[in-house]
Structure 1
Amino acid sequence: MLQFLLLLNLALSASARVIHKKVTVVNDVVVTPSTTRYVTVTGGQSEHVTLDQTIESVETVFVAHTVPTTVITGTLISTVQSIITANPVTQTDSYPTTADAPQININTLTEPKTLDPFEGVVTDAEPIPTEATVASSASATPTATPTQSSFSVSIRSSSTPGPVESTPGVVSIPDGPSTTSALISSSVVASSVASSVASSASAAASSSAAAPKPKPNPPPAYNGDLFAAIDTSAPPGVFKQEPLNIQIPNGAVKELGQSPVHTNKFYFNMFLGDRTMPVYTQPYSVWWSKTDKFPGIGVSYSQAKDKVYGPQKTNPMEYMLNPVGIMSFVFSAKEFTTDNMEMQLSDPDTFSATTTVSTGDGSMELPLVQGMGFVTAKYNGLTPLLLTQVGFDSVVKGNSPVQGTLKYVAKLFNGVTWTIYVTTSDPDFKFLFPDPHTIKTHSTKPCVIQMATTGDADSDAGSAVSGFDKAAGSYPVSASLNGQANGGSAQYSIDYKTEGSSASGSTLLFALSHHKSSMVSQSGAVSGPKIQSTNKGPMYAYVANSLTLAETLETDLQFLPWSQVSGFAGKATLTAAQQKLIAEVANSELKQDIGSQTNLDTNYFSGKALDKFAYILLVLSDMIEDETTTKSVLDQLKKAFAVFTKNTQVSPFIYDTLFKGVTSGAAQASGDSGADFGSPYYNDHHFHYGYFLHAAAVIGHVDAKYGDGQWVNENKDWVNSLIRDTANPSKDDSYFPVYRSFDWFSGHSWAKGLFPAADGKDEESTSEDYNHAYGMKLWGNVVGDKAMEARGDLMLAVMKRSMNDYFYMKDDNKIQPEQLIGNKIPGITFENKLDYTTYFGTNPEYIHGIHMIPVTPVSSLLRDPTFVQEEWEQNVSKFIGDVNSGWLGILHSNQALYDPKSAYEFFSQDNFQTLWLDGGASRTWYLAYSAAVSA
């Protein structure tokens, strides 16, 4: 059945962008020998399992007597993809031209050049003062100066007081509620960071990896809070203020229209469509179940063996997914029916939201938090029911881990063990077991029921449960992001707000691989569980209230070409011959009419075109250094950009007063969800806005050298509004949600916006994701906001780690499924599946190229030479000969990340065709980049 669903999943329809299809799966009764205790059914296939009869326990309160079989019925929800009419890459043989195009005097280019990456870069501006930074500075422990070789870290926690465990050289994370400051020596931070990036260090041993290089003179290091507000004032009045034209179920989100509501977070399915599609907290999927037998909130956990791969005859395979809709558990109540339940989402936040299911005066409240180890339900005025579609094999009552909290260990028919903790004031509380699918109680007093999986059936469940006991009774309800930078290092933490109490004073958290490799301390780690995320490999259990992580920042990476290829010395170099060829090509491309290319019917294509000419401007200014031509192009690009800052473009922006954000107004009249690539409904904002941010940074950078130096201040509020929409760092800014696009838990951004989807959010273009952070970093530099610049550097460092764990799959990758490693990239990464495809077609150049575009100085930071070479030799080289479109230029520009000489030869050939360039790319830039980083 699941294979059939996958065929549907890969089907293409011309009628809509995404179609959601529900398929009911009813598994037949299987008659088995009497020696078989039960039958589990996963993905429509029966698996006969005979259990060991011996169970060591404190008290066995229930053992299943299912004879001869358990039958699972349910609904699997599949997402069927279809083609978007617009391919993100366009090409043409020629562009409209202008008669008075500026031209470079090629005869002046007679000497080789070595370029200083910090020339013209802001080096002395202080962070822009805001109310938030002033308040933060007033309350924080003074940060040590660089000469003291100290690292200042501020860690906030709001959990139950408990002992502080001190480890030499490691920041101690207190369990108390107060703000605590700690000092850690810079040498220890460097050691910690070096250790945390060890998983990526194998590339350094490769002949293609980066060699040690002399450091250029960097700007002064930023030391301070990374997450102070950019601005707290209203967005510029040029954006028309009106509610988004979209229908949301009445009452679905408590705060809708009152305060910022996230549009790109894991819980979005809880308020879109019929609101029954899953949300993915990792490792759990959770959803509103409205089936007759299982009313309430469903919870599912997929083991490694449950994951479905296919097509089976291909190597590597094309997809991996987790079955959707199989209910490991359902939090229910005696009073619930499919007709009387109401559900509302409240407190939508950066890492969390709360869903409440109610009937009459009774309610069941579940805080949903990324990385939560326990799924927790708070019952009030209801009679709890715990249901399972899979079936209980046994339930064992254990010793109470903390006063007032009962403990049970349940083993399901699929072999997975779950711990159940009940915190109640009812002394007569007890579980009853009327059948293998039901646990009930007669108590109606308020209680809190928590459940956590110990992982796959082959986990050391006993050891895991023992570790979980230390956290029982405490559960996260939300989380906040905090962090400090000290020049080339940064430390950030996801700090969980908890309720309840536990023996340790901490709760249970599940962390991903990229968290584990960058953690400051492994204190609180729990051994035993083998936990599978839905899409990012194994997870790791910790009894803690915070994940504290450290990264190094690549501050040398600025506007000019930069690379990890062996031989690149940290400074771009050009021979005289290379300069002349670049100038000749630039003169040809400067004849194109900038205005006609940059005001199109989608802001995505417009932004790409603006950035295309911004890169040409950068080459003129900082590499060719032709002042006259630079000034002319600068003026033209300012005029083109002004169309957007005046909001007079074909698709003007609005400020949406419903969800609170700057978004395209293209669907306001028509309600067309596909307009502007879905941008009106918050799809792909980070992809789209990244091009505007980089273009703005280049204009500001060049204007400071050759203009009047006022452009940045005149346009700061407009550009900052795009950043506040996608990457607002602080709740002090009440006009936007905190980090709409970037997911600090997952380590990258999510797209899809306000489109319900059974497989959750997705990331189709990792390169446009980090391009957004790069543009933000550079804009922070030109505007003098050093906190923003450092924050962009940290986002890039986090993405470097996560993308090389989950997206850029080298041959030695041990995190993602071995069945997919040969693809080198997953295609589209959904929260619930990996699918080697795109939304606009299945051509291999699309699938690989969408993770390359645009190739910029930051590309090499994320896509290191080892990976790029493996992908080129194992994949790209096999199909590039069949490509004759704008994707060809993208593929060869990406080749420059490991073999810049060959890339330069491609772009410098006499018979080069304009058709090989994406409409958002220039041959000028591709030549300049590949030449500058060649040894």
Structure 2
Amino acid sequence: MASTTRIPLAYLLVLLLSFIQLIASEETVTFTKTNYITPSCFQRGINTALENNPQSLTTGIPIVFVYGNRDDNEQQGDSSHQGNYAQQSNSQVNNGAQGGNPTQVGTTNSDNQQTQQTQKSEQVIVTSSKVSYAVSTDSTETATITTCSENLCSISVSTKVVPHTYSTEAVVTYTTTGSKVEKSDAKLSAGKEQAKSTRSTEYDFQTETDDSTAEAIISKVAKTTTRTIFEATVTPTTTYEGETSFESITSTKKNPLVTKSAISKSLTKTIDTSKFTDITISDTDSKSNNSKYSNSTQSSISAYGSKNNTNSVPITSTINLSEESNQAQSVPVTKASQSPYYSYYNTSSTVRLSSIAPSAIPSSSQAATNGSNSSNSSAVTTSILSNGSSIVISSAVSSGTLTSSQSEVSSSSSTSSSASSSASSLLGSKASVNGYSGDLFDAISTESPLSVFSKKELPLSIPSGVDNDGVPYETNKFYSNLFLGEQTDMIWSYPYGMLWKTQDYYGFGVQHTNASDRVFGSADTNNEGVASYYFNPIGNAELIFSSTSFSKSSNHLSVSSMKSMSALVQLSESSTIGSDYIDIPIVQGMGLVTAIYNGDLVPMLNSLMGVEELTVETSSALDKNMSKYRATLVNGVEWLIYVTVPSDSANFNLTAESPYKIKGSTAIDGLIIQIAVAPDSSSAEGYYDEAAGMYATDASVEGSVSGGTSAEYKFAYTTKGSSSSGKTIVFALPHHVESLTSTTKECSTGIKLASTSKGDMYGYLTNELVMSEALETGISFLPWVQNMGSDLSYTSEQLTLLAKSANEELAVDIKETVASMDSMYYSGKVIDKYAYILLVVSDIIKDEDVTNSTLEAMKDAFEPFINNKQYYPLMYDTKFGGVTSSASQGGDTGLEFGAAYYNDHHFHYGYFVHAAAVVGYVDKKLGGTWAEDNKEWVNSLIRDVANPTEDDSYFPVSRMFDWFAGHSWASGLFASGDGNNEESSSEDYNFAYGMKLWGNVSGDNSMESRGDLMLAIMSRAMNKYFYYKNDNDVEPSEIIANKVSGIFFDNKVAYTTYFGTPADHPEYVHGIHMMPITPASSLIRTPSYVKEEWDDQISTFIDEVDSGWTGILRLNEALYDASSSYKFFSSDNWSSTYLDNGQSRTWGLAFSGGISNAT
């Protein structure tokens, strides 16, 4: 066997030499070339030079390249390089308009003398790196084949070429020649001495970034020279450390449980359990209309018919609604009078709705039922069941595929039985896909707020220099500290933190987060040996945008253009901004922090940490008006500094006067300075080179929904300036990364930076981040959990207990009970408690009289709020722009949980919005118009919390919900050293759930789908940042055993509450993230998480809890173990002390009982 080796060394040398060139210079100056390429780019080069070689193999041939000054002959023979670099100064460099190649600018004689001194002694630095590539050899194999037949044998010879591949590496050695550093006579603060050096900094040539997600293409191969212009040779005697003291949390605020008792009242009508008989749905041509409410074209469903229908002839047929969904069609109903009614029949039949579609009979569908009864009502009929019957409610199993359906029912159809002898299906409250395709952010309204809300100003002064030009203020956003308190607390745009510096140094400080610097501790916890909090040092101000003319008295902050994702900071010498000022746009996710110097301000960059070394780097990847510096701080962190001059003729450079002061050479109107933490991998640095010069000034949230089942949303960045790629760099949080579209993923750079409290962020070279989410349309009014395996059903025993519980809990004066509460929060919880009981009576027990009486009581309970006559009336705040409490007009900011100052609005209003959706839904079934009549009042609450568009000029956009963070921020107009916070994740998504249902009832498809999207985003985000399963890889492992965050801040996670510590009451910190338990709970609080939390935490203290928190914890148990939960609520030893006045046993029984039969 012969073999032939094929090693194209010539091609290999050509390839490698094409990446490395020797640069000539008359002076002792060395240059390094940094090649930025992507894995795919490198692979194409290898494939060209080494054809047919597998990419995983290498040659192992060592090749040595020497970097140094060429000899005289070489300098004379290469005039092109000589022309570019021969005049370079060692002490100063012009970073102007010559394609990144510095030319000499006014150096002084002393500078030149210092330069000559530093060149007297030389040093050689040798480094090496490896390049792996593929090599193959071919071998020729000869095979002799003998073939014999019955009488003859033949011999044949065949040959084949067999490729052999193997792995090898090329070792590339870089020898750098440079002058030794000589100490200068310049005096440095903190005992350090200044030095100027011509030492070159070598960055490893790498073929791929540290992260496999890097998919963006670096379009330019950069020829880079690096020159040290400052090096501190003596370490400062002291170095600055950020604030690392834990800001304690006061746990003395009011408990969120409603402890005020209900006001009793005798009922004129109760649910009569003695009339239970076996019943079924029975009527012809029954119709179920669209659950949306429109002005005149949608029909209303009446759940109950006249009493005359109860005496109809019994039906003995067995009915099964068709399970075929492929014949779906829309059946329009155009008259409000076409309303199906529910009647009562004695039957022995079984009816069960199909569970194969998300809505067995969607609200816009028509179910034709053929029966033998000839009732006068054209209706679906049902009633309370006897002891031998059960109710079966078709569940929404998954995100739906139908927007409407038509089901044929025959009296001779086959039986679909349930566990008990008979069953009745429930219509109307089923989830349905609205089929909406369109804009997710349509305006709710653009009309002025209702006149019932008196117009007043909140008694909180706005600092001088803060002005939003008549646009409502964003009160709960990431930058709120800039106009609250002393305006000096930090803000976080992610990944960077910033603050206004008014002591020691003057300007706007920027810092990054290093996970290794996090501070962990434990205090007042029930989990011994587990950290109960962590936070990040604040106030580091690694680099500070400033000016040589700023001082303690000449350092004024202005804040304007405040929007949902951005704000504009301006710094000036005087309180009145003239022509000399610095613009610093702050946008969530921005990858480069940018300062634009206007007028005659000479730029200054200070550093609290101290600069150990400052180098200037020229690169062909940069635009010609741009220069690049690298500041290595005393703490070892490298910051990239990009300077862009507005014209080709402008000359500008940075020099260091001390480790704490980097100064610009002159004032240039329109000069742009951008900073970013250097990536770990030098190969990824090219992405910053390609993004530099362009900066984000704003970002807007845009989105659309398709068919009501899937949504796409994006952060569209508005930019200024220009970059070589035409794009900027933005960073995405972990919950973004999971849902990014494939197109956006292609923009990944692989650059990773830590956030303060949300794990690692990843950089993308793009002007928009686009994400997609599937919408869970199965969630509606009735109980639902993720792991339902069958229809929602109730046995007769369960129904009997439900009826008994409802009778007991409805024996109150609902209106007076609700009105007696001293805050919108408590009132909202109580009115929503009775809304859930109304829903159970209407859609599960189906008692006509009690439904009507409870509905009227609920309407009466809403009246004081609709007329604004509650304990603390609402007002329209003309200063900040919002419907808020008037409780603090006298100066007490703590009343109503701080709601007057925009604390917790989504918590408070969410209960009212959900209760209104239930009342509107039940009323509409009965032919009423309550939802339409009171739509503007309910919408006012929603507009205050979640206005979707700037078209509505009366409210800020999305006051509470932070589309970038993936959840809301509860804290309002209160300054905080650790930024915004949220204590109750569950009351956060409760608002979105209520808004979704109200959108359904009021006919606002955009609102309904927007609520679905908010729930989807929160499900993804909260399971990374708030809820800690054992496999959580986002939050630090030190806190995972707590299972829940506690209070979640911008900069801190604290396992506690504002009203009590887990050391005394662990039920507080867990329960506040559970309540209320609704059909939306299971989408966020997944069964697997709830089980882990129960096993690891709740089970350890549940037996010690005997209060209103008991019912919350036990109903939460139904999300993974509904049977155990139902045993608790149905126990003969039941005690009303297990519930506060914001939770009912009736809903607890309905939720846990129905789910226990379906899972």
Alignment of 1:342-741 (within 5 A): 342-360=556-574, 361=578, 362-380=580-598, 381-400=600-619, 401-424=622-645, 425=647, 427-446=650-669, 447-454=671-678, 459-460=680-681, 462-487=682-707, 488-521=709-742, 522-567=744-789, 569=790, 571-599=791-819, 600-668=821-889, 670-706=890-926, 708-741=927-960
1:264 alignment partner, one of 461, 469, 476: 476
What displacement does 1:713 show?
1.3
Question: If you compute each CA radius of gyration, which structure gives the higher value, 1 or 2?
Answer: 2
The one-letter code of the counterpart of 1:436 is: P
Q: Which amino acid aligns with 2:634?
A: F
The question of whether the paired residues in 2 share the 8 Å contact of 1:102 and 1:633 is answered with: no
Give, in whole Å, the separation in 2 of the partners of 1:416 and 1:120: 65
1:784 paired with 2:996, answer no
TM-aligned CA deviation for residue 254 of structure 1: 4.2
Conserved 8 A contact 2:239-2:610: no
Whole-Å separation in 2 of the counterparts to 1:829 and 1:121: 43
Farther-moved stretch of structure 1 (518-527 vs 469-478): 518-527
1:124 deviates by 6.2
Q: Determine the structure 1 residue equivalent to 2:1059.
A: 840
- The answer for the alignment partner of 1:898 in structure 2 is 1120
Tell me, in whole angstroms, the C-alpha distance in 1 between the residues paired with 2:398 and 2:833: 32
CA separation of 1:771/1:74 partners in 2, compared to 1, >3 Å: closer, same or farther?
closer
- Identify if the C-alpha distance between structure 1 residues 526 and 792 changes in structure 2 by more than 3 Å, giving closer, same or farther: closer
How far has the Cα of 1:841 moved from its partner? Answer: 0.7
- Work out the CA distance in 2 between the residues paired with 1:219 and 1:370: 33
Matched-pair contact (CA < 8 Å) for 1:113–1:573: no
Deviations 1:827-871 (A, max 9, x none): 110000000000111121000000000001100010010000000
Instruction: Check if 1:89 corresponds to 2:300.
Output: no
CA distance in 2, matches of 1:314, 1:454: 39
Alignment partners' CA distance in 2, 1:324 and 1:286 = 9
TM-score by length of 2: 0.66
Give the drift of 1:76.
Answer: 6.3
Q: Is the 8 A contact 1:123 1:220 kept in 2?
A: no
Contact in 1 for aligned 2:294/2:1002 (Cα 8 Å): no
Alignment of 1:30-429 (within 5 A): 55-56=202-203, 58-67=226-235, 69-72=237-240, 79-91=247-259, 95-111=262-278, 122-123=290-291, 218-255=432-469, 258-292=470-504, 294-311=505-522, 314-360=528-574, 361=578, 362-380=580-598, 381-400=600-619, 401-424=622-645, 425=647, 427-429=650-652
Give the superposition deviation at 1:481. 1.2
Which residue identity does 1:430 align to in structure 2? Answer: N
Distance 1:262 1:422 in 2: 32
CA distance in 2: counterparts of 1:384 and 1:806, whole angstroms: 39
Give distance in 1, aligned partners of 2:1006 and 2:730: 29
Does the CA contact (< 8 Å) of 2:509 and 2:542 recur in 1? yes
Instruction: Quote the offset at 1:663 in angstroms.
Output: 0.3
Give 1:679 shift.
Answer: 0.3
SS of the aligned residue for 1:725 comes to: helix
Give CA deviations for 1:439-466 in whole Å, capped at 9, x if unaligned: 10121112111111135xxx22x12311
Deviation at 1:396, TM superposition (A): 2.4
TM-aligned CA distance change 1:308 to 1:403, over 3 Å: same
Identical pairs, percent? 46
Q: Given the superposition, is the C-alpha separation of residues 74 and 902 from structure 1 closer, same or farther in structure 2, using an over 3 Å criterion?
A: closer
Given residue 587 of structure 2, which amino acid in structure 1 is its aligned partner?
A: V
Counterpart secondary structure, 1:897: coil
For residues 100 and 872 of structure 1, do their structure 2 counterparts lie closer, same or farther at Cα, with a shift above 3 Å needed? Answer: same
The Cα of 1:70 is off from its aligned counterpart by 4.2
- Cα gap change, 1:111/1:348 in structure 2, threshold over 3 Å: closer, same or farther? farther
Gap change, CA 1:320 and 1:76, over 3 Å in 2: closer
Separation (CA, whole Å) in 2 of partners of 1:928 and 1:709: 26
The correspondence of residues 865-884 of structure 1 with structure 2, limited to 5 A, is 865-884=1087-1106
One-letter amino acid of the structure 2 residue matched with residue 692 of structure 1: F
* Gap change, CA 1:635 and 1:825, over 3 Å in 2: same
Which ranges in structure 1 are unaligned for 5 or more consecutive residues? 1-36, 38-51, 130-145, 148-209
User: For the structure 1 residues 751 and 428, does the alpha-carbon distance in structure 2 shift closer, same or farther, using more than 3 Å as the test?
Assistant: same
CA contact under 8 A between 1:101 and 1:591: conserved in structure 2? no
- C-alpha change, 1:121 and 1:890, in structure 2 (3 Å) is farther
Tell me by how many angstroms 1:781 deviates: 0.5
2:695 match: secondary structure: strand
For 1:748 and 1:791, the matched residues in 2 are separated by 14
Contact 1:254 1:344 in 2 (8 A): no
1:108-154 alpha-carbon deviations (Å, 9 max, x no partner): 44559999xx997845667999xxxxxxxxxxxxxxxx99xxxxxxx
CA distance in 2, matches of 1:454, 1:932: 56
Paired letter, 1:778? L
Q: Give the match's secondary structure for 2:852.
A: helix
Question: Using a 3 Å threshold, how does the CA distance of structure 1 residues 126 and 497 change in structure 2: closer, same or farther?
Answer: farther
| Paired position in structure 2 for 1:914 | 1136
- Contact 1:79–1:757, Cα closer than 8 Å, also in 2: no
SS at structure 2 position matched to 1:402 = coil
Task: Verify the 8 A CA contact 2:443 2:947 in the aligned structure 1.
Answer: yes
Contact (CA 8 Å) 1:369, 1:476: kept in 2 or not? yes
What SS does the aligned partner of 1:820 have? helix
1:863 corresponds in structure 2 to: 1085
- Kept after mapping to 1: 8 A contact 2:567/2:586: yes
Query: 1:214 and 1:346, CA in 2 relative to 1: closer, same or farther beyond 3 A?
Result: closer
Instruction: Give the aligned CA root-mean-square deviation in angstroms.
Output: 2.5
Q: Tell me if the contact between 1:121 and 1:701 (Cα under 8 Å) persists in the aligned partners.
A: no
The answer to whether the 8 A contact 1:904-1:930 is kept is yes
Please say which of residues 863-872 and 433-442 is displaced more in the overlay.
433-442
CA contact (8 A) 1:76 1:325 kept: no
Matched, 1:808 2:1032: no
For structure 2, list consecutive stretches of 5 or more residues without a partner in the other structure. Answer: 1-182, 184-198, 204-224, 298-325, 328-395, 406-431
Question: Deviation digits for residues 72-108 of structure 1, max 9, x if unmatched?
Answer: 266668644223441001346x632102353111134
2-structure distance, mates of 1:112, 1:844: 47
Aligned pairs, how many?
Answer: 793
Secondary structure at the aligned position of 1:585 is classed as: helix
Deviation at 1:340, TM superposition (A): 1.6
Counterpart Cα distance in 1 of 2:834 and 2:544: 55
Is contact 2:399–2:775 with CA below 8 Å preserved after alignment? no
Q: Give the 3-state SS of the residue equivalent to 1:270 in structure 2.
A: helix
Q: Distance in 2 between matches of 1:408 and 1:376?
A: 15
- The structure showing larger relative contact order (alpha-carbon pairs under 8 Å, at least 6 residues apart) is 1
Residue 1149 of structure 2 corresponds to which residue in structure 1? 927
Q: Measure how far apart 1:524 and its partner are.
A: 5.0
